[in-house]
């Protein structure tokens, strides 16, 4: 019996569907197919559908693993086996925890147990055969969850040796720059003091003699000589101020409190900003390195306030508690610029923040910066002193 037009149209549509499915299977767009039958739908998994992913994972330059929630390695790629210097057969089926120190195990365990879809990142040291340790970053992600205590976790392990080395080199370089800066400042201060100030004083003395030798009858000439003498006096004071900032003898002679006060007063006078300093009398002198670090950090922070913050008020506080001394510099300015803008400026960054962090780190301290657009900036430096410093 010939088929009706309608039946032919239905058959043509089913044929087009089937052809589309075959095309998608061939190109790897699908890896499972659901076929509707009389007893409901049946799911068919296509063999080899994961090949493309497997090739990708095996060609990665990072370790890729799947773990059970108890840390047993269900799958690891060859790169990970090479990282830990073990045969792949030994790695698969063993516990990931065995590759970590006890402290790192303690850090990782709760994260694996309470794994969420959004994932987590953690830095640990991986035990490599032969006793070596490799700094790695682990990115974790929940792949599947079966019931309340069974899950499969995906893990990507990135070797951070190179990144750590670069970080250390950068730190050493910054330290060197800060040291050279300090030496150079000392040299310039000495040059200014020994040559320029001496010269200015000689000229000042002569101009004073000139002013004295002229009588009031000389009129304008006498007036000019007196003005000249005044200007030379100001220039000599200014050069002394610069030399003083470059090599703070006040720090050596009168201590940190006086040096911080002098810096704040001079800053407030020059910029017109309101500066409030809270600085209790310190019981003892701090180690010279710590005093110099705090003094220089204040100078750099105030320079940044002047150059970038558009602030009206600055508060500076020095606090000594048991085992540490803390300096906080806070402004009410525009805060750090938006991320997008700051990434545009990347590479053009200055040295100020680096040098503050380096100076704090050099004396065993911590440098923290808190800032948000239009919310001002706060710099906190905490340095251990006394027995705590020795322990640090």
Ligand X SMILES: Nc1ncnc2c1ncn2[C@@H]1O[C@H](COP(=O)(O)OP(=O)(O)OP(=O)(O)O)[C@@H](O)[C@H]1O
CA distance 369 to 367: 7
Q: Which is nearer to ligand X, 174 or 207 (CB)?
A: 174
CA distance 197 to 237: 9
Q: Which is nearer to Mg ion, 236 or 273 (CB)?
A: 273
Exactly one of 244, 299, 304, 377 binds Mg ion (CB under 5 A); that residue is 304
Exactly one of 96, 324, 336, 367 binds ligand X (CB under 6 A); that residue is 336
Q: Which is nearer to ligand X, 20 or 341 (CB)?
A: 341
- Work out what residue 154 binds among ligand X, Mg ion, none; the CB cut-off runs from 5 to 8 Å by kind: none
How large is the angle between the packed helices 161-191 and 352-362, nearest 10 degrees? 100
Which one of 25-33, 71-79, 245-253, 333-341 is the stretch in contact with ligand X (CB under 6 A)?
Answer: 333-341
Spatial CA neighbour of 292 closest among 212, 362, 376? 362
CA distance 137 to 123: 4
The binding track of 262-301 with respect to ligand X, each residue x by CB under 6 A or -, is ----------------------------------------
Four-residue CA torsion sign, 64, 68, 71, 76 = negative
Contact 339, 333 (CB under 8 A): no
The binding track of 325-364 with respect to Mg ion, each residue x by CB under 5 A or -, is -------------------------x-x------------
- Work out what residue 258 binds among Mg ion, ligand X, none; the CB cut-off runs from 5 to 8 Å by kind: none
Shortest distance, CB of residue 358 to ligand X, whole angstroms? 11
Q: Which is nearer to ligand X, 248 or 335 (CB)?
A: 335
The three state secondary structure string of 316-358 is EEEEEECCEEEEEEEECCCCCCCHHHHHHCCCCCCCHHHHHHH
Q: Which is nearer to Mg ion, 31 or 380 (CB)?
A: 380
Shortest distance, CB of residue 311 to Mg ion, whole angstroms? 14
Footprint (CB under 6 A) of ligand X, residues 343-382: 349-353, 377
Shortest distance, CB of residue 237 to ligand X, whole angstroms? 25
Shortest distance, CB of residue 379 to Mg ion, whole angstroms? 11
Under rule CB under 6 A, residue 197 binds ligand X: no
CA distance 377 to 180: 28
Residue sitting closest to ligand X (CB): 350
Shortest distance, CB of residue 63 to ligand X, whole angstroms? 36
Q: Spell out the alpha helix ranges (H) of the chain.
A: 5-26, 51-58, 78-83, 88-91, 102-113, 161-191, 198-213, 220-246, 249-254, 256-271, 288-304, 339-344, 352-362, 387-391
CA distance 270 to 307: 13
Three-state SS for 19?
helix
Footprint (CB under 6 A) of ligand X, residues 300-329: 304-305, 307-309
Shortest distance, CB of residue 357 to Mg ion, whole angstroms? 12
Q: Which is nearer to ligand X, 69 or 334 (CB)?
A: 334
Q: How many residues touch ligand X (CB under 6 A)?
A: 17
**Residue 44 tokens, joined:** 């068919």
Contact 358, 297 (CB under 8 A): no
Q: Which is nearer to ligand X, 180 or 351 (CB)?
A: 351
CA distance 207 to 230: 9
Sheet holding 377-384, edge to edge: 274-278, 313-321, 324-331, 377-384, 366-371
The site for ligand X (CB under 6 A) is made up of 304-305, 307-309, 331, 333-337, 349-353, 377
């Amino acid at each position: 019996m010939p088929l009706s037009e309608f039946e032919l149209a239905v058959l043509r549509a089913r044929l087009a569907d089937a052809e589309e499915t075959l095309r998608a299977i061939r190109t790897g767009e699908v890896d499972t197919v659901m076929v509707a039958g009389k007893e409901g739908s049946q799911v068919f998994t296509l063999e080899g559908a994961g090949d493309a992913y497997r090739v990708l994972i095996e060609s990665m330059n990072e370790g890729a693993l799947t773990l059970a929630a108890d840390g047993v390695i269900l799958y690891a790629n060859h790169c990970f086996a090479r990282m830990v210097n073990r045969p792949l057969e030994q790695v698969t089926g063993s516990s990931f925890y065995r590759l970590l120190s006890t402290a790192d195990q303690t850090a990782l365990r709760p994260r694996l147990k309470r794994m969420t879809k959004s994932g987590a990142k953690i830095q640990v040291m991986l035990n490599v055969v032969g006793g070596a340790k490799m700094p790695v970053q682990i990115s974790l992600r929940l792949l599947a969850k079966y019931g309340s205590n069974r899950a499969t976790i995906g893990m990507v392990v990135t070797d951070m040796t190179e990144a750590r080395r670069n970080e250390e080199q950068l730190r050493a370089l910054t330290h060197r720059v800060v040291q050279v800066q300090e030496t150079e400042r000392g040299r310039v201060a000495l040059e200014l003091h020994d040559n320029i100030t001496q010269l200015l004083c000689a000229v000042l003395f002569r101009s004073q003699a000139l002013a004295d030798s002229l009588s009031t009858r000389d009129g304008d000439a006498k007036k000019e000589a007196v003005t000249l003498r005044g200007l030379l006096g100001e220039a000599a004071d200014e050069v002394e101020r610069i030399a003083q900032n470059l090599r703070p003898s006040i720090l050596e002679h009168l201590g940190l409190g006086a040096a911080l006060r002098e810096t704040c007063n001079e800053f407030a006078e020059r910029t017109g900003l309101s500066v409030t300093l809270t600085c209790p009398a310190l019981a003892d002198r701090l180690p010279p390195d710590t005093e110099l670090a705090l003094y220089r950090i204040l100078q750099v922070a105030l320079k940044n306030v002047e150059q970038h913050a558009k602030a009206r008020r600055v508060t500076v506080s020095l606090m000594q508690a048991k085992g540490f001394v803390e300096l906080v510099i806070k402004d009410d300015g525009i805060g750090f610029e938006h991320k997008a803008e700051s990434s545009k400026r990347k590479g053009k960054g200055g040295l100020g923040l680096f040098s503050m962090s380096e100076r704090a780190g050099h004396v065993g301290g911590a440098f923290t910066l808190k800032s948000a657009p239009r919310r001002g900036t706060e710099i906190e430096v905490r340095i251990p002193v006394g027995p705590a410093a020795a322990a640090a």
